[in-house]
């Protein structure tokens, strides 16, 4: 097995979660108002990347 030492600190994970939530909210708002298509991509990729990072990189638990 390949041992990975990549972990997220709780503060960084919280920051990524907040940015992801805001990006998802903005994506939905652009989608509902049929806004510019480039904003679909910017907010959609930001939200998707945040969810993937939070889903696949473990959070370091102190102690």
Quote the number of domains for the chain: 1
pTM (2 decimals)? 0.85
34 inside domain? yes
**Domain annotation covers residue 46:** yes
Residue 42 inside a domain? The answer is: yes
> Which range of residues forms the domain containing residue 37?
25-55
Residue at 7 is within a domain: no
Whether 44 is in a domain gets the answer: yes
pLDDT score for 61: 86
Q: Tens of pLDDT along 4-62?
A: 688 999 999 999 999 999 999 999 999 999 999 999 999 999 999 999 999 999 998 87
CA distance 8 to 14: 10
> Is 8 inside a domain boundary?
no
Question: Is 40 a member of any domain?
Answer: yes
Using the structure block, give the residue that is written with the tokens 């959609």.
Answer: 44
Let me know if residue 39 belongs to a domain.
yes
């Amino acid at each position: 097995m390949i041992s990975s030492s990549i972990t997220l600190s709780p503060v960084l994970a919280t920051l990524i979660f907040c940015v992801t939530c805001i990006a998802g909210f903005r994506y939905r708002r652009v989608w509902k108002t049929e806004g510019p298509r480039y904003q679909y991509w910017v907010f959609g990729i930001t939200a998707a990347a945040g969810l993937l990072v939070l889903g696949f990189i473990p959070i370091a638990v102190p102690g």
